[in-house]
Amino acid sequence: MKPLKTGATFGVTVMLFYALCAVVWYAFPEPFMQFMTALFHGIDFHPLQSGKATLGGTVYADVVLGLWAFFAATFFAWLSAKLPSAH
């Protein structure tokens, strides 16, 4: 694995999936909340809906998650190359 390529690929993937998640939440808020409740074993996410979500806040969160994913995957690929092979 090439660390920077792996980091960039994972960072972009996380950003795309976060954006898709935000679009689905915006288009179908109640079914989305029901899905999240089912996904997380009954935890009710409705209290998190403040009604104050903004496009700017969503983009900011997307960029932060993308950067975190980039650095995590870059480190993962670098570390993977440094560790001895299991073969």
Q: Beta-carbon neighbour count of residue 11 at 10 Å?
A: 21
**Which tens digit of pLDDT belongs to each residue from 15-66?**
999 999 999 999 998 999 999 999 999 998 888 787 778 899 999 999 999 9
Q: Where are the domains of the chain?
A: 3-81
pLDDT band at 85 (very low <50, low <70, confident <90, very high): confident
Burial tier of 7 (Cβ tally within 10 Å: 0-12, 13-18, 19+): buried
Q: How far apart are CA 24 and CA 77, in angstroms?
A: 31
Give, for 48, the enclosing helix (H) or strand (E): none
pTM of the model: 0.82
Q: What is the pLDDT of residue 56?
A: 93
Q: 80 near 1, Cβ under 8 Å?
A: yes
Q: What angle do CA 43, 47, 50 make, to 5 degrees?
A: 145
pLDDT above 90 for 72: yes
Kindly tell me if the per-residue pLDDT of 86 is higher than 80: no
